[in-house]
Amino acid sequence: MKKHHAKLAEEFYDKIIKLHHKEFHYEYLQYVKWLDLLASKLSKEAVVLDLGCGNGRALKYFVDKGFQGIGIDISDKMLKLARKYVPKARFYKKEFTQINFNPNSIDAVISFFALNHIPKTEFKKTMNICKKILKKYGILLLGMVKGESEGLFKGFYGKKMELYGAGYSMSEIIKVLKLSKFRILKTGIEHFKGKYFEEDDVYVLAKKIN
Ligand SMILES: C[S@@+](CC[C@H](N)C(=O)[O-])C[C@H]1O[C@@H](n2cnc3c(N)ncnc32)[C@H](O)[C@@H]1O
């Protein structure tokens, strides 16, 4: 049975797809310098997995550079756009904790503003799964909305629909990653102002150490 927070996210993102696609299109990636940094650390044939890939804009960056891309997302409408705009990547409809790639098979896992839509206990589980599927010295790049609160909220994109949201501090993310045996390589906090919202975002680049 689908988890409540995942069902809410599926319904929400299917509904606001047009607004989201306008705000987060392919020509503008607010986190491009983090993608550049990750790309500089990957070998030519590297496989990059994007958790909550949305319209596939981050994967397009990697696929255009010749890397292999895999995206998972819970929203059918997001996946439809991703398949259309990034045909060379593979996309699957999956919830984060359902991913079942082979152990030690992925070179890099990326995720931007998607793991904020699951409870914090699920975030810990997801990081353990990432550790399992990443190759030795595989890399993890996270972009997470900074904040303290966790729970159901309304008003995202001006809509009355409910959505699950969990904000994170830098130290909280680092603590979870260290418990999952990642070594932190670089961190940063950046301000984002879009048409629909304004926020601080925490970025963490980490490496699987064993
Ligand atoms: C804010 S969007 C970010 C999309 C993309 N990462 C980007 O940077 O443009 C969050 C995405 O996470 C997906 N998502 C939310 N909860 C999810 C879950 N439990 N499992 C899989 N995908 C989920 C949504 O469908 C949505 O596409």
pLDDT along the chain (210 residues), means of 10: 91 91 83 98 97 97 98 98 97 95 98 98 97 97 96 90 97 97 97 90 95
d(CA 186, CA 38): 11
Q: Which of 17, 32, 75, 110 to mutate to test the pocket of ligand 1 (most atoms within 8 A of CB)?
A: 75
Determine the longest span between alpha carbons in the chain, in angstroms. 45
- Which pLDDT score is estimated for 28? 83
Amino acid at 108: A
Which atom of ligand 1 is found nearest the CA of 10?
A: 25
d(CA 125, CA 3): 14
Q: Which of 113, 120, 199, 203 to mutate to test the pocket of ligand 1 (most atoms within 8 A of CB)?
A: 113
Query: Separation of 51 CA from ligand 1 center, angstroms?
Result: 7
79 Cβ inside 6 Å of ligand 1: no
CATH number of 4-208: 3.40.50.150
- Which pLDDT score is estimated for 158? 85
d(CA 196, CA 210): 41
89 Cβ inside 6 Å of ligand 1: no
- Which pLDDT score is estimated for 22? 80
- End-to-end Cα spacing for the chain: 33
- pTM, whole model, 2 decimals? 0.97
Amino acid at 2: K
Query: Separation of 115 CA from ligand 1 center, angstroms?
Result: 7
Q: Please choose, from the candidates 113, 106, 26, the residue with its C-alpha nearest in 3D space to the C-alpha of residue 68.
A: 106
